[in-house]
Structure 1
Amino acid sequence: MRAGLIIVGILLLGAGIWIMLGNGSYKQTDTLLQVGSAKVTATHEKALPSWAGVAAIVVGGLLAVGGFIKR
């Protein structure tokens, strides 16, 4: 259990730092026009919000520290 907390904490810390550096993104597809069964779509690349990176860093830090000091 203790090693699991440390590993998950370190992974969340890494993901949070990755997001804060601006490398985290996702794709969003929008429908521009639809006539019958024909559809025109556009795919946009959007950056993950910085608050998600901060949250991942905080939670990851708490989990990692909790794993180290738990007896």
Structure 2
Amino acid sequence: MNEDRLSGNWKQFKGKVKEKWGQLTDDDLDVVEGKRDQLVGRIQERYGYGKDQAEKELKEWEDSNHFNW
């Protein structure tokens, strides 16, 4: 996926990410800016999850929202 499309998709899904993981701040989401690995890290930090748990939740969210990085 090219960067323009990823950026556009991120803006579209940013609100949905915040709905799912409400402990993420706007600053967190600005830093992540569509980078999957950084989102996993922020979810781990905010929720105290291990990497496997954060990856699992994110994968389930991606599948349910038809989000492609």
Q: Which has the larger radius of gyration?
A: 1
TM-score scaled by length of structure 1: 0.33
TM-score scaled by length of structure 2: 0.34
Structure with more of its chain in helix, by fraction: 2
Structure with more of its chain in strand, by fraction: 1
* Bigger relative contact order (CA 8 A; separation at least 6): 1
